[in-house]
Amino acid sequence: MRGFLASSIGVTCAAALALPLTPPALAATARPVPAAEAARPAPHAGTPATAPAARRAAEPSAAGSTQSLPLRPLTRDRATPSAPAAEQGLSRRAVRHFSLVGVVWDDPDAELHGRVQVRTRTAGTGTWSGWQDVETHNADHAADRDTPERASGRVRGATAPLWVGDSDGVELRVRSESDDSAADSAGPAPGARNLPAAPPLPSGLRLELVDPGEDDGASSGDEEEPRAAGGANAGTPALTETSAVAEASAVNADLAPTGATEIAALGRTETEQEYLALNAGGLTERQLRAKPYIGPRPGIVTRRGWGANEGLRESGFRYTKKVKAAFVHHTASGNNYRCSQVPSLIRSIYRYHVKSMGWRDIGYNFLIDKCGKIYEGRAGGVAKPVLGAHTLGFNSNSMGIAVLGSYGATKPSKSAVKAVARLTAWKLGLYRVNPKGKTTLKSAGSNLHRKGKEVRLNVISGHRDGFKTECPGRKLYGKLGSARSKAARYQGR
């Protein structure tokens, strides 16, 4: 979302490279580590990793886990040693297996002005990657302010997650930089005396290492029951894991059998019949007689299909009134994934959103991979107006679609753009909305539109239309016009 200038590795980081690989001191973390998660031993330094299936079979929390490691100062200003460190991180070390990384901090309203870089060791080969940038500007993906989800007390600030694949070693550096660093890096302007001071890093920085576990439908060992809505003291009993799975599947019962791993695609005639059934009692006589503008229902992989652990999310569902708009995003999690890995990638993002960031569920309503496959996101029913946490200020009366990957400099695949069009043609059609049209949404407050402002938007908009951000990336944003036209044609317009 925001480009960063390349910077050299400092003397301190160079020294860190020479440090021996040692497992992290997990007992020193400020946040409690669940017993089942803590029971998983870290590998010995420099030990080649075993195959994923073998090592998971030997680990008690094989269905997924999160390692949360507090960052340490990497540099200190000798003149003011008590001042917050401008660079924090972790020296190179061996850790338990993980596939996705991110950095979180205490205050969800605080921003991380600077650069986050990580390098990881590939399990099985022991090869270390080069330094990779982690997208720091992620506050624009969130529940709206003044909502129960935002006010739960669990929400934390966070970077975007980065998919790195099966890894067992990590090194991290987080460097504070002023917003003017890019302009100043070419050299001081004539007459300039001082560079802008770098802002302090947010407090409570932690590295989150997410292991998605196996796609076997098992619950994770660290939390067997869904959280009660509103938190532990809300007075709402949590569902059992079995009940949560049944609950998540039952809301799609009009579209697929209970327990289905995929909602099958339909032809136009079948979709029109389904449209009338889903809207029974809600249509006027004129609407009943008219031919509906709705695209054929695409195939959708359900939460059960990608292996969602329903014990992670908060119990129950939250809905908005209708779906008037679709906001398109990219996950900024990198493009180094195979389509066969997507269930693991989505389980990782889900766990990161819930366990690391403190959300009630995964933030997006739908996700699409680069092969064009569509996945159910936040629980509540794919045909229903589920309230998400995807576009800060505009989550009401909208849906969020995330294309997995980073599309600032990389073109999205034709299959992914086509899938956006097919999904929106169907879902917007259920609510009698024209994908090529305009709509008006009331802002709940963003850095682009003040709270209460009535904003005129394209029905299919990019995230940047509701919030000042680079999301969904320049290359994907440039394809939204094509997606609108295709979606309208799928609806028969």
Which runs of consecutive H residues, i.e. helices, occur in 251-313? Answer: 268-278, 285-289
pLDDT < 70 stretches in the chain? 1-62, 76-84, 138-141, 179-196, 215-239
- Terminal CA-CA length for the chain: 34
Task: Report the distance separating Cα 360 and Cα 378, nearest Å.
Answer: 9
Tell me how far apart the alpha carbons of residues 293 and 435 are, in angstroms, rounded to a whole number.
10
Pairing of the two strands 454-458 and 300-301: unpaired
Task: Kindly report the number of other CB atoms within 10 A of residue 266's CB atom.
Answer: 17
Residue 97 to residue 210: CA distance in whole angstroms: 8
Q: What pLDDT is attached to residue 430?
A: 96
One-letter amino acid at 322 equals K
pLDDT on residue 380: 97
- Tell me the pLDDT tens digit for each residue of 136-180: 976 666 777 778 888 888 999 999 999 999 999 999 999 998 765
Instruction: Say which DSSP state 348 is in.
Output: H
Please choose, from the candidates 388, 415, 430, the residue with its C-alpha nearest in 3D space to the C-alpha of residue 293.
430
Q: What is the pLDDT of residue 48?
A: 43
One-letter amino acid at 201 equals L
For residue 423, what are the contacts with CB-CB under 8 A and spacing of at least 6? Answer: 298, 300, 366, 368, 374, 401
Q: Map residue 374 onto helix, strand or coil.
A: strand
Query: Of 43, 157, 48, nearest to 96 (Cα)?
Result: 43
Tokens standing for 322? Answer: 């209708």
Q: How many Å apart are CA 345 and CA 328, to the nearest integer?
A: 18
pLDDT of residue 312: 94
**363-408 pLDDT tens trace:** 999 999 999 999 999 999 999 999 999 988 888 999 999 999 999 9
Tokens of residue 37, six digits: 């998660």
For residue 129, give the DSSP letter: P
Q: What is the Cα–Cα distance from 22 to 94, expressed in whole angstroms?
A: 6
- What pLDDT score was predicted for residue 338? 97
Inter-axis angle of helices 414-430 and 480-490, nearest 10: 50
